Structure 1
């Protein structure tokens, strides 16, 4: 366990209690605070691992189930950060997170090939000096992670293990990544937030008088960023900071992808005014109705997007709907 994780175990509950007399009384009344502190830290890591795994496997997991998993991970992070969460609440949350991870990832655990791929990618593109120019991770943390990744890679054959064993190896890989983020510098997150915030504010000023859709999208992103940033001040440690920043970063990439989708959405709306009827050069009324439903669904998906892949999927679905609509033109 990292030094930071150890510090979290020692300080998470007492620090909360210092500012909350009721919590201080509860702390004195319950002798198992150290045990609960360990369980909460374990829950935090497991929730972060689930969230990370869902991001890595975006596009290969049913979207409805993936969103449920993301919601569960966020709820678990909240429980782990709540000084008044009971031992039973923490245990129940850990059980749900484990069950969700098994349900969502087990189907991919037929070999070790993808685990080795993730290990290689993390080693080559994150933990090398060229990929870590701003020293986001301390060298000690990098050395530790590389050692663990090499050991894991050596233990995991491409074939020959049961799915449960590959699942355990995958969760170990995710845990190594989470431990790494727990040792990142807080200043990295704050600096990145300020840079992103300033960029978005500039974009809002540039577009608010030009295109209402763009302006609304940027305003929504700025609001979400400010909410996430406000949570940084209450974060117990680097793991929560990493979680919050990753959500902010995902929102930013969703925003970038949305810029490409807005003109496509606007063009699709214009098609709704196409001539309807049964004559050549017209579209059946049913085709217009179908396209309208797809356009509305795309707009909702854009509003609810949490990450770039969410917008990409919405763009793909909208493109298919437009192509289908055009094919209904009566010759």
Structure 2
């Protein structure tokens, strides 16, 4: 059956699904959620602050951002764009504030406004009507017309069904606005209808608790190894260590409490931020030879030295003698940095310059 021929009231809309999700508030648990041990009452009490309406809105705002990235990640765009970095920065701030019980309503409200603006600026800059229309068409095919589904919604998971109805409601909104031929209608429906309802549908997504316990174990092991290598006292990093441990504990509690997938994603995002901050801090207090930057440059130098054995000459497939001379000078320069540098930015710059020299060498091959 063609979904476009259906009466708007003849099917369960994504909006209705969203209402169903919202009936029990932020902590609604769908029956399809992966089985988990029942959470202790003390754990539930410790997570009560997450039921705050403003935090709930921020959780869904983050889900909208994540779902938007699923589309734009397939595009080629300037990764140095300030819009991209602004959005990532405000998303990280959202993670930390939503999961901070001490965050005030004014702080939460401020970050919500900043996040909304950054998200809209990003969408308006990178997306066009045809991007939204293509996205809707692709999802509509995969979730309804594909042979796996064969226009039978009963074959969809609850989350997939919510996603499909988000697409249909967005397409219906385009028609209400006057059709896709009018510039801006598709993108408006994408922002105003599809993204919010798609974010709500994510609450119906199931997840494997072991995925997060494995991630936590991996991060904890890495931090312990880094602490063992620091030059100073681990006590110098007590604040960041405490923030990291609090983030791991929160993620463990949220998963154990069978929270929604959107809540889990925010807790995981907070863990990623705390882990990254701690790693960067520990790097500055560790011998530079232990740093990833040092090891990366060391490996690059060793690998590129092997290129000196490539055929030299002026015939097809050979490299001119001058190319080898330039590459050798670049390698010697990188080796000096590796031997004398005491700063991570210098190692990163040397690695980038050596990579450029390698590319310059390769393009000089005779054709």
TM-score by length of 1: 0.55
Task: State the Cα distance separating 1:105 from its structure 2 match.
Answer: 1.6
Q: CA deviation at 1:324?
A: 1.1
User: 1:237 maps to what in 2?
Assistant: 260
State the match for 1:204 in structure 2: none
* 8 Å Cα contact 2:132-2:187 kept in structure 1: no
Deviations 1:17-68 (A, max 9, x none): 9746xx99xx9xxxxx98xx32221121112212332343134253453244
Specify the SS of the correspondent of 1:76.
helix
Q: In 2, Cα distance between the equivalents of 1:145 and 1:126? A: 8
Distance 1:237 1:67 in 2: 27
Query: What is the aligned partner in structure 1 of residue 93 from structure 2?
Result: 75
| Structure with greater Cα Rg | 2
Shift of 1:86: 2.2
* Shift in Å, 1:100: 0.5
CA deviations over 1:183-206 (Å, ceiling 9, x no partner): 122xx33255578899x9xxxxxx
Please list, as runs of the form range in 1=range in 2, the aligned pairs for 1:1-331 lying within 5 A after superposition. 1-9=18-26, 19=45, 37-58=52-73, 59-63=76-80, 65=82, 66-109=84-127, 111-125=128-142, 130=148, 138-139=157-158, 141-156=159-174, 157-162=179-184, 166-171=186-191, 172-185=193-206, 188-193=207-212, 231-234=251-254, 236-242=259-265, 266=299, 269-271=302-304, 280=322, 281-283=324-326, 287-288=330-331, 322-327=358-363
List runs of 5+ in structure 1 lacking aligned partners: 28-32, 201-223, 249-261, 302-313
Deviations 1:234-271 (A, max 9, x none): 365321224567999xxxxxxxxxxxxx9999466432
* Secondary structure of the structure 1 residue equivalent to 2:208: helix
Structure 1 or 2: larger helix share? 1
Contact kept? 1:145, 1:176, Cα under 8 Å: yes
- In structure 2, the CA distance between the partners of 1:48 and 1:10, relative to structure 1 (3 Å rule), is closer
Q: Unaligned regions of 5+ residues in structure 2, if any?
A: 1-17, 29-40, 219-243, 272-294, 309-320, 339-343
Q: CA 1:146/1:54 → structure 2, altered by over 3 Å: closer, same or farther?
A: closer
Q: Across the two proteins, how many residue pairs are aligned to each other?
A: 255
